[in-house]
Every structure is written in structure tokens, then in C-alpha cells.
Amino acid sequence: MRESTGPRTPRGKARSSRNAAKHWIESRRILPEELEEAAILRSGFEEDLKPEGLIEHEIIDDFTLNRLHKRRIDIVFAKEFYKATIKNAIEFDENNQRPAARYWLRHANLLRGHSDEPAERVRPDVCVSELQRLTKEIRDLGPQLGHLEFLRELYGDEPSAGAALLMSMLSEFHAIEAEKDQAAAIRRKDLQGHILAALQAEIEIQKVRQTLVEDLVAIECLSELQEPPRHTLETLLRYRAANSREFTSLLDNFERVRCLLGNSATPTRTDNSR
């Protein structure tokens, strides 16, 4: 029979890591890395409660282990919230990147016939750079037949009002492009000026959107309010509640033992956050 080598899949490894965290929290012994903290905690409990006799000293040991458990739970809480924040930032960034990626695939004619998803407008920063490039081409060469399709690829199925206006003007420009009279030439020249002005206005609008999106990204990535998955959070809350109940029970036991042994001193309840 082959010996188990442990989990091999990412899901299995993740499940195993959660088991390790669970066993670490529930370990009923002081771990080597906790020795210094345990000594500090025990010294503090001895100073506060002034134990006398073996039983009271053993309860002090239990107090110390209980508070170490609380710190372990707090560490996992902080780690899970941090992980949730990072995962949210990654997901947000991936969603933010997807429209740009699909734009370039549309531009390379790689998505046609392969996706029924609606084409999304690209991110404002991509819009700005591509519109600036389009502005230079129109200023140097005039509006071209491919520019209308270019805008459709750039904005997908979600054109802004400015982009829709540009598409309309480009369509009008090409409708009169074949006319050779002087009046048509004047109209084309005027229309080219209006197209360039509309492009500049749309660039400025997209720059404002870019600033807003960057602010949103910063908020999403830096927020400390992202919660871990509900089952993880509920498990940790159960650990914390059980730890608090155990601490209260230990304190009650200490008081009963002291009462039974006839000690006159009554310990003062310590803060659970100790």
C-alpha cells in the first residue's frame, strides 16, 4: 500500500491549511514561539489574582493558555480579513482589466463568432490613449473609413454620448466624401473640425472618468472592511465565543476554589481583552 503524501490539488492544500490553523488554535499546550508571551501573561495573572496553593496555580496555568488561545484567534481573524481584502483587490483588478483585454481581442478580430457576451467599453485610460492616437490620425490624414469601426471596437456595446456623437459625425463625413463640389469640400472641412473638437471633449471626459476609476481602485485595494467568507467568519466567531465562555468559567472556578479554601482575598475580574 502506498503511503499518503498529503493533498496535491490547490483545493486539497487549502483545506489542509485550514485544518492546520484549526489545530493550532485548539492546541492545548504552549507552543515554543509562545513561551515568552506565556511567561508575561502568567506573571500578570499572578500579580492580579495572587494564587495560593496548587489548585489556584493550576487555574492560573489555564488562564494563561486561554489568553494564548484568544491571541491565536485574533491572529487568524486579522489574517483572514487581510486575505479577503487582497482577494477582493485581485478580483476587482481582473474585472477592471477584462474590458481592455476584450477590446484588443476584438481589434485583432479574435473574438468574432466565439463569444455571445456583450462587448464592454474599455477602461478610461485605454480610451484616452486610443482617442489621442485617433485625433492625430484625423488631424494628419483626415477621417478614414476604418475610424468608425475603430470607435465601435473601442466602446463595444456601451458607447458614451460623446462617442455616439463622433460615430454619427464620421458616418456623415463618409456619406458626403464622394461629393466633389466646393460646397461639399467646405462641409467636410467644417465637419473634420467638429470631429476633432468632439474628440478632445471626449478625451477630457474620459480623463475625468479615469481619475474616478483610479480613486475607486485605491478604495477597493486599500479598504480594510472586506470580510472573509461567511463560513470562515462564523467559525472564528464561534472560537472567540467559546474562548470567552471558558475564561468566564475559569474565573468562576477560581473564585469558588478560593471560597472553599477559605481565602479571604476576592480576585477582581480582569478584562477579557487582556
Q: Tell me: the pLDDT tens digits for 41-61?
A: 999 999 999 998 999 999 999
C-alpha cell at 28: 492545548
Q: How many domains does the chain have?
A: 2
Point out the least confidently predicted range of 82-96, 124-138, 253-267: 82-96
Cβ neighbours of residue 99 closer than 8 Å, sequence gap 6 or more? 120, 121, 122, 123, 156
**pLDDT tens profile 194-229:** 999 999 999 998 898 888 777 776 766 655 556 788
For residue 267, is pLDDT > 60?
Answer: no
218 and 241 belong to one structural domain? no
Report if residue 265 sits inside a domain.
no
pLDDT of residue 130: 93
pLDDT of residue 4: 43
46 and 125 belong to one structural domain? no
Q: Is the torsion defined by CA of 78, 80, 81, 85 positive or negative?
A: positive
pLDDT average, residue stretch 4-31: 58
Question: Which structural domain range is residue 98 located in?
Answer: 31-103+229-260
Report if residue 111 sits inside a domain.
no
Residue 29's φ and ψ, nearest 5 degrees, are -145, 160
92 and 147 belong to one structural domain? no
Alpha-carbon distances of 155 from 101, 141, 152, 215, rounded to whole Å: 13, 23, 5, 22
Mean pLDDT of the chain: 79
For residue 265, is pLDDT > 90?
Answer: no
Report if residue 267 sits inside a domain.
no
Model confidence band, residue 270 (pLDDT cutoffs 50, 70, 90): very low
Report if residue 170 sits inside a domain.
yes
Residue 272's φ and ψ, nearest 5 degrees, are -65, -20
Q: How far apart are CA 55 and CA 257, in angstroms?
A: 8
